[in-house]
Chains A and B, each alone.
Chain A
Amino acid sequence: MLRFILRRCILVLPSLAGLLLITFLLIHSVPSDPAVAMAGDAGTPEQIARLRAQYGLDRPIWEQFFVYVGKAVTFDFGESVFSRRPVATDILQRLPATLELTFASLMISILLGVPLGVVSALNHNTWPDYILRVFSVLGIAVAAFWFAIMLQLFFAMDLGWLPLRGDLTSTMARPPRVTGFLSLDALLAGRWDVYLDHLRHLVLPAVTLSLGGLATIVRFTRAGVLDTLQQDFVFYERAMGYRWLRLVWVFILRNSVTATVTQIGLLFGGLIAGAVVVEAIFDWPGIGSYTVQAILTGDKQVMLAVTLLVGTVYAVVNILVDVVHGLLDPRLMEQG
């Protein structure tokens, strides 16, 4: 098991190296001189030269690359133009909110998507299946930012059931920051009012963000179950008198979710991308809204850091996916 995980980690290293190389080339393919940009309109040639030396821009390009890699692995992404603080600090501060949001929406996607996919497959080519298939196409085709606005319009503005934006009612005192996750911090401080208010704020963004994943999970679970139903062992297990519900939800499902688990891993990229938009619309204080701020203010260091972060998260998630595959199917674990 440990060897299996280690192997996966090593396999990911070339991808991470490639990620660093590509982002580095991206920055250097831009014709504009970053030192000039940093010095601003009023920058004197001396200032520009000093900035160049400070950021190592006067060295040969391969040396710059190693400096860049050195900084990246020590999480030194420089300073955000916008907040005037180290980018790494900002990201660390905002990461929990994004994790909270993506986790909540992933939970919604899985807890709804897997059962709906199974129901769809069991009712293959009958009306429940048709309805679910149409919804899954809709879920992929809908623009998240538009859906978010529609939800706001209906549930927040029109009905007034849920808050419009933010992660907490502004009049509420925030609990002391311990973990950074507002929901956990509220519980640790014993502030149930804050906890519930936070959850109310979480509903609309999480639902919006879950949409694409929900559709994908329904699709792949359905396909997986349909595939498994063709297998000989399903007939054998029925002939052995397995109870239908247990047959479907334990014995068939575990064979069917391999593709779904892969998709959940792939979804993570989409979730983070989706979070950019969703957080911006709902003013959720995470990495996504930070990214949008960076875009609007032209904060290149932030964009770079976020790109690296997302690529790394994606790689880590894929290791996790492989481990889950190994746990689901013992044959994979033995192959190493």
Chain B
Amino acid sequence: MIPALKVDGLKISIRTDEGIARVLDDVSVTLESGRIVGVVGESGCGKSTLIRAIMGILPRGASVDGGKIWFEGENLLVFSEKELNQRVRASRIGFIPQDPLQALNPVFKIGTQLLEAMRWHAPGSRRDHIARLVMLLGRMQVPDPAGALERYPHQFSGGQRQRLLIAAALACAPGLVIADEPTTALDVTTQHQILLLLRELVAEFGISLLFVTHDFGVVAELCDDLCVIYAGQTVEAGTVQSILEAPSHPYTRALLACHPDRADSFVGIPGIVPSPLARPAGCLFAPRCGDVRPLCREATPAQGRARSGAAVRCVQYS
């Protein structure tokens, strides 16, 4: 069975005034059909560029230097803007944004905004679209689904808005949904409810979910598989269970160690993510690694396999 989405060795750089920023440098993510993969990393490590690359909406000055994005047997990177818009976005790949208030157009009614996408990407008439939206909003436990369509974004609470946008992502019945830290802006209780909802929807609507986050707690609660990204590189990938039980890459271990659920005291990883403009030679994590060896600073480590079964980019395993 082919995966729902397979990002393979993706490399993207962006030309800026200060030079060329290598934002993604060999990122690979595999999402098996019907599963949930969590993509985890600190901010600034390339998560949002990855999402933008899959949607085909890269910022100005960005260029794809290598890799492939396999989706339902086709490489999305060879699609033209027009093809992506007509055949992929909304209709086959749904998107749940990070901050629902920022993501909604403040001066249009919810109904207008959601129906605009369905108008081009969902079969049936406008009446069918409204019926489907009302059904979805009801399923998302939005009170008064029909009335909600007539209201403006600022008239909903944060949790309600996120439910609206989950409904929007499913509106055109896509097979793949990409979620960009959709629970970050919410309080813990609401966050938990949304995660439960997403978990149910995956089975119920037969979708595969790519879930981007910086929070291991969320990953543990929601995901089947896990992909850890550091400075534009995949450093560890495997099932959630195997990695959480036995994290192999020093970065994964460091991230887990400073998660509030596990840490004894409030500690972060010392140092910062290297700038995509000036990257160190050798392993990118070496400057911050607690277990660094001389070899680390010389050669870029190749992908190896840990005992847990996870793919790891670290000299200890290659």
Chain A residues with CB under 8 Å of chain B are 231-233, 235-244, 246, 251, 254-255, 328-331
Which B residues contact A (CB, under 8 angstroms)? Answer: 52, 55, 57, 85-86, 88-91, 95, 97-99, 102-108, 113, 116-117, 120-121, 152, 154, 168, 172
Q: Check if B97 sits within 8 Å of A232, measured CB to CB.
A: yes
A251 touches which of B103, B108, B120, B154 (Cβ 8 Å): B108
Residues of B within 8 A of A251 (CB): 105, 108, 116
Q: How far is the CB of A241 from chain B (nearest CB, A)?
A: 4
29 CB < 8 A contacts A-B? A232-B97, A232-B102, A233-B102, A233-B106, A235-B57, A235-B97, A236-B104, A237-B105, A237-B113, A238-B55, A238-B57, A239-B89, A240-B89, A240-B95, A240-B116, A241-B85, A241-B86, A241-B90, A241-B121, A242-B117, A243-B120, A251-B108, A251-B116, A254-B107, A255-B106, A328-B107, A329-B106, A331-B107, A331-B154
Other than A235-B52, A243-B85, A254-B108, give 8 A-B pairs with Cβ distance below 8 A: A232-B99, A232-B102, A235-B57, A239-B97, A240-B95, A246-B116, A255-B105, A331-B154
Contact A233 B105 (CB under 8 A): yes
B48 nearest CB neighbor, chain A only: A235
- B88: chain A residues within 8 A (beta carbon): 241
State the main secondary structure of chain A at its contact with B. Answer: helix
A231 — which chain B residues lie within 8 A by C-beta?
102
CB distance from A323 to the nearest CB of B (A): 15
In whole angstroms, how far apart are the Cα atoms of A329 and B105 in the complex? 10
Residues of B contacting A241 with CB < 8 Å?
A: 85-86, 88-91, 117, 120-121, 172
Inter-chain CA distance A17–B88, complex, in Å, is 61
**In the complex, are the beta carbons of B107 and A236 less than 8 A apart?**
no
Q: Which residues of A contact B116 (CB under 8 A)?
A: 237, 240, 242, 246, 251
Kindly state the separation between the CA atoms of A171 and B105 in the bound complex, as whole angstroms. 57
Within 8 Å by CB of B106, from A236, A242, A331, lies A331
What are the 5 tightest A-B residue pairs by CB atom distance, in nearest-first order? A241-B89, A241-B90, A232-B102, A236-B103, A240-B117
Q: Which residues of A contact B86 (CB under 8 A)?
A: 241
Shortest CB-to-CB span from A233 to chain B, Å, is 5
Residues A236 and B97 in contact in the complex (CB < 8 Å), given A241-B90, A331-B106, A331-B152: yes
Q: From residue A262, how far is it (CB to closest CB) to chain B in Å?
A: 16
Cβ–Cβ contact A240 & B90, under 8 A: yes
Partner of B107, one of A239, A246, A329: A329
**Distance A7 CA – B294 CA, assembled complex (angstroms):** 73
Tell me the bound Cα distance from A307 to B154 in angstroms: 43
| Chain A, residue nearest B169 (CB) | A240
Given contact pairs A233-B102, A241-B117, A330 touches B107 in the complex (Cβ within 8 A): yes
In the complex, what distance in Å separates the CA atom of A243 from the CA atom of B105?
A: 15
Closest A residue to B82 using CB positions:
A244
Does the CB pair A255–B95 fall under 8 Å? no
Closest CB of chain A to B211's CB: distance in Å? 16
Q: Report how far A240 CA is from B172 CA in the complex, Å.
A: 10
Q: Are B104 and A233 in contact (CB under 8 A)?
A: yes
A83 to B89, CA, bound (A): 70
> Hey, which chain B residues are within 8 Å of A244, CB to CB?
85
Q: Which residues from chain A contact B104 at a C-beta distance below 8 Å?
A: 233, 236
Kindly state the separation between the CA atoms of A144 and B87 in the bound complex, as whole angstroms: 52
| Closest-CB distance, A106 to chain B (whole angstroms) | 23
Q: Is the CB of B152 within 8 A of A330?
A: yes
Which A-chain residue is minimally distant from B172 (CB atoms)? A241
Q: Which residues of A contact B106 (CB under 8 A)?
A: 233, 255, 329, 331
Query: Shortest Cβ distance from A226 into chain B, in angstroms?
Result: 12
B97: A residues at CB distance < 8 A = 232, 235-236, 239
Q: How far is the CA of A236 from the CA of B100 in the complex (A)?
A: 10
Q: Which residues of A contact B90 (CB under 8 A)?
A: 239-241
Tell me the minimal C-beta distance from A161 to chain B in angstroms: 43
What is the distance, in angstroms, from B171's C-beta to the closest C-beta of chain A? 9
Nearest-Cβ distance from residue B148 to partner chain A, whole angstroms? 15
Assembly CA distance A255 to B97 (angstroms)? 20
Q: Is A239's CB under 8 angstroms from B57's CB?
A: yes
Contact A232 B107 (CB under 8 A): no
Central interface residue in B57, B88, B97, B105, by most chain A CB within 10 Å: B105
Instruction: Name the residue of chain B whose CB is nearest to the CB of A327.
Output: B107
Chain B: CB-nearest residue to A244:
B85
Partner of A240, one of B52, B107, B108, B168: B168
List of B residues within 8 angstroms of A238 by Cβ: 55, 57, 89
Measured CB to CB, the closest approach of chain B to A76, in angstroms, equals 45
A254 to B113, CA, bound (A): 13
Distance in angstroms between the alpha carbons of A237 and B106 in the assembled complex: 12
Give the residue name and chain of the A residue nearest to B100 (CB). Answer: A236
B172: A residues at CB distance < 8 A: 241
CB distance from A254 to the nearest CB of B (A): 6
Enumerate chain A residues within 8 angstroms of B108, measured Cβ to Cβ: 251, 254
Query: In the complex, A235→B121 CA distance in Å?
Result: 17
Q: How far is the CA of A244 from the CA of B120 in the complex (A)?
A: 12
Report the bound CA distance from A299 to B154 in whole Å.
55
Nearest Cβ on chain B to A224's Cβ, whole angstroms: 13
CB A160 to nearest CB in B, in angstroms, measures 49
Q: Which residue of B lies closest to A242 (CB)?
A: B116
Give the complex CA separation of A241 and B122 in angstroms: 11
* C-alpha spacing A177/B116, complex, angstroms: 49
For the complex formed, measure the closest distance between the CB of B172 and the CB atoms of chain A, giving whole angstroms.
Answer: 8
Check B85–A233 contact: CB distance below 8 A. no
Least CB separation from A332: chain B residue:
B107
Output the least CB separation between A100 and chain B (Å).
33
Contact B103 A233 (CB under 8 A): yes
B243 to chain A, nearest CB (A): 29
| Complex CA distance for A243 and B81, rounded to whole angstroms | 11
B41 to chain A, nearest CB (A): 20
Separation of A328 and B104 alpha carbons in the complex (Å): 15
- Chain A positions within 8 Å of B107 at CB level: 254-255, 328-331
- CB nearest neighbor in A for B92: A241
